[in-house]
């Protein structure tokens, strides 16, 4: 969808706009928004509202044709709840309902003329982001691997946002929103691909293409290089697979050469059988999504590349499969991490932390300003937080608390929220092993917290945070598919830092 933004005022009234449809807000108390009032030249909109044809409830819609006194062919009335306080939820409901209607129209273009500065606690930039993200979601296709593609969708292809004002910051907000939405699209595309296509090699080639398109530096480390680096923990996960592991390093050097970079580390398990600790069969197909941490790093790099972010950012992706075979790591095996710590592999299905610990150790060489790892790490996080919030972990010190607050704020800003959970010595005590420095799982209880505590052992030299996205990276059931999260959170976090 093509987007533009325009201010409508006395010199350029909305009633003179030539378009296939104008969407305007109405409210439950039979009030009209400013744009709806401006189009109500002969009382057609007021009459529709008074008649009860539309309730004004958030997400309700009514399409009017031939409204007298205006140029637009159609007017879409969209309920936005109470006029006294437009909530984020009601605004988003109105946007999604509008785009659903636009998808069925016989018009190529439309205008959304919503009150973008009336949302409680939000500004116009947030509203622009909400509309752009929802529009991309409405048009996202999942038929890439079908032999017969789904029918081409009709409906609106050119969307104009009617803003209260348009200045350089407004145009920048629109450009940033589109870049982030396209980054989310890439993350969803990678997540939805079948695991026989989206292999570690495929992720490496995707990184190479991004590097070519956006002038990133890229390096792909192969097995021999990983062996030389003594990444035995990472390699232990890939031992049972025929697919070669790939360790991907992307660099966006948009800041000063002397600036310490922010490092994003993504878990890239392109398929997770659980290894010798084999998962149950039902639902195992969804383990193609176990690389969504990696996909979110690649999606975020697409966004910051398009935005030309004035900041140094390094992306690290540890990519491999976790498969059972005669060569696979066995429960009870002890491996040595790049950091030199020995790990007793008590459960081969707790493999994400085994690849991440070596990636986090590798991150030290960049003398980072901060490191954030992103991983579909634990089912326990879904039990704790459901599918609404990503789990956020950071050390309880000044650097960790500051970094955690930055990420929480960015999540709220983007509508891609996280919730902070605890770590510390008590959780680390659960990881004690009789035979190695650490077990890769803890004693029962607090499994998301013990997983984060495990990772913390490899992050002592820098500010670090961990995002557990097991509950937010994809949806199951009839709506099964990758969500693109947490690209919006990460992009806003980097934008705020820049």
Name the one residue in this structure whose structure tokens are 């969407």: 23
| Residue in 74, 246, 288, 353 annotated catalytic | 353
Task: Give kind and range of the element (H or E) at residue 23.
Answer: strand 22-26
Residue 145: burial class (beta carbons within 10 Å; 0-12, 13-18, 19+):
exposed
Beta strand 61-65 pairing with 74-79: antiparallel
Name the one residue in this structure whose structure tokens are 């007017």: 75
Active site residue 485: no
- How far, in Å, CA of 222 to CA of 203, rounded? 13
Active site residue 279: yes
- How far, in Å, CA of 45 to CA of 75, rounded? 9
- Picking from 334, 354, 353, the residue whose alpha carbon sits closest to that of residue 342 is 334
- How far, in Å, CA of 368 to CA of 251, rounded? 12
Backbone angles phi, psi at 79, to 5 degrees: -70, 140
Contact by Cβ (8 Å): 278, 385: no
CA dihedral angle for residue 119, residue 125, residue 129, residue 130, rounded to 10 degrees: 0
Mapped onto helix, strand or coil, the DSSP state of residue 239 is coil
- Order the strands of the 74-79 sheet from edge to edge: 2-7, 158-163, 109-113, 22-26, 74-79, 61-65
Task: Give the DSSP letter string of 90-156.
Answer: HHHHHHHHHHHHHTT-S-SEEEEE--TT-BTT--HHHHHHHHHHHHHHHH----TT-SSPPPPP-S-
Residues facing 247 on adjacent strands: 221, 318
Q: For residue 167, what are the contacts with CB-CB under 8 A and spacing of at least 6?
A: none
Q: Nearest 5°: CA angle at 305, between 175 and 226?
A: 155
Residue 168's Cβ-side half-sphere holds a number of Cα atoms within 13 Å equal to 0
Backbone angles phi, psi at 26, to 5 degrees: -130, 165
The secondary structure of residue 313, as a DSSP letter, is E
- How far, in Å, CA of 1 to CA of 12, rounded? 24
Tell me the residue length of the chain: 498
| Residue in 157, 279, 330, 497 annotated catalytic | 279
Q: For residue 478, what are the contacts with CB-CB under 8 A and spacing of at least 6?
A: none
- Picking from 240, 315, 306, 244, the residue whose alpha carbon sits closest to that of residue 277 is 240
Active-site positions read: 279, 353
């Amino acid at each position: 969808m093509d987007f533009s933004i325009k201010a409508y005022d006395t010199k350029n009234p909305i009633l003179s706009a030539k378009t296939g449809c104008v969407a305007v807000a109405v409210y439950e108390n039979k009030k009209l928004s400013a744009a709806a009032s401006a189009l109500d030249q002969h009382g057609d909109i007021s009459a529709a509202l008074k008649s009860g044809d539309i309730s004004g409830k958030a997400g309700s819609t009514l399409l009017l044709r031939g409204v007298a006194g205006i140029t637009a062919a159609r007017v879409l009335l969209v309920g936005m709840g109470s006029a006294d306080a437009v909530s984020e939820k009601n605004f988003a409901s109105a946007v999604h309902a509008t785009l659903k209607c636009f998808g069925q129209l016989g018009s190529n273009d439309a205008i959304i003329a919503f009150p973008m500065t009336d949302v409680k606690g939000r500004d116009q930039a947030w509203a622009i982001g909400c509309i752009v993200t929802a529009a991309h979601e409405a048009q996202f296709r999942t038929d890439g691997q079908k032999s017969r593609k789904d029918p081409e969708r009709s409906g609106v292809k050119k969307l104009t946002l009617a803003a209260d004002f348009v200045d350089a910051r407004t145009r920048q907000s629109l450009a940033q929103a589109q870049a982030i939405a396209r980054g989310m699209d890439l993350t969803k595309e990678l997540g939805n691909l079948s695991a026989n296509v989206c292999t570690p090699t495929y992720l490496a080639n995707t990184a190479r293409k991004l590097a070519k398109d956006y002038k990133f530096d890229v390096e792909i480390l192969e097995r021999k290089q990983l062996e030389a680096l003594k990444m035995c923990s990472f390699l232990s996960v890939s031992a049972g697979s025929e697919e070669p592991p790939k360790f991907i390093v992307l660099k966006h050097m948009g800041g000063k050469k002397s600036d310490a970079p922010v490092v994003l580390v993504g878990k890239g398990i392109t398929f997770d059988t659980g290894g010798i600790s084999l998962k149950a069969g039902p639902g195992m197909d969804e383990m193609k999504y176990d690389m969504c941490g990696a996909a979110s790093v690649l999606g975020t790099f697409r966004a910051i590349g398009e935005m030309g972010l004035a900041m140094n950012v390094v992306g690290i992706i540890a990519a491999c499969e976790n498969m059972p075979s005669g060569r696979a790591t066995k429960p009870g095996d002890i491996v040595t991490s790049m950091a030199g710590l020995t790990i007793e592999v008590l459960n081969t299905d707790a493999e994400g932390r085994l690849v991440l610990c070596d990636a986090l150790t590798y991150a030290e060489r960049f003398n980072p300003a901060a490191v954030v790892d992103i991983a579909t790490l634990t089912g326990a996080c879904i039990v704790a937080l459901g599918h609404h919030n990503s789990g956020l972990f950071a050390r309880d010190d000044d650097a960790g608390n500051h970094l955690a607050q930055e990420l929480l704020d960015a999540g709220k800003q983007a509508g891609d929220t996280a919730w902070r959970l605890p770590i510390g010595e008590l959780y680390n005590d659960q990881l004690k092993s009789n035979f190695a420095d650490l077990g890769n799982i803890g004693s029962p209880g607090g499994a998301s917290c013990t997983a984060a505590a495990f990772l913390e052992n490899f992050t002592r030299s820098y500010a670090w945070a961990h995002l557990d996205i097991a509950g937010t990276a994809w949806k199951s059931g009839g709506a099964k598919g990758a969500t693109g999260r947490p690209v919006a959170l990460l992009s806003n976090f980097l934008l705020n830092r820049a």
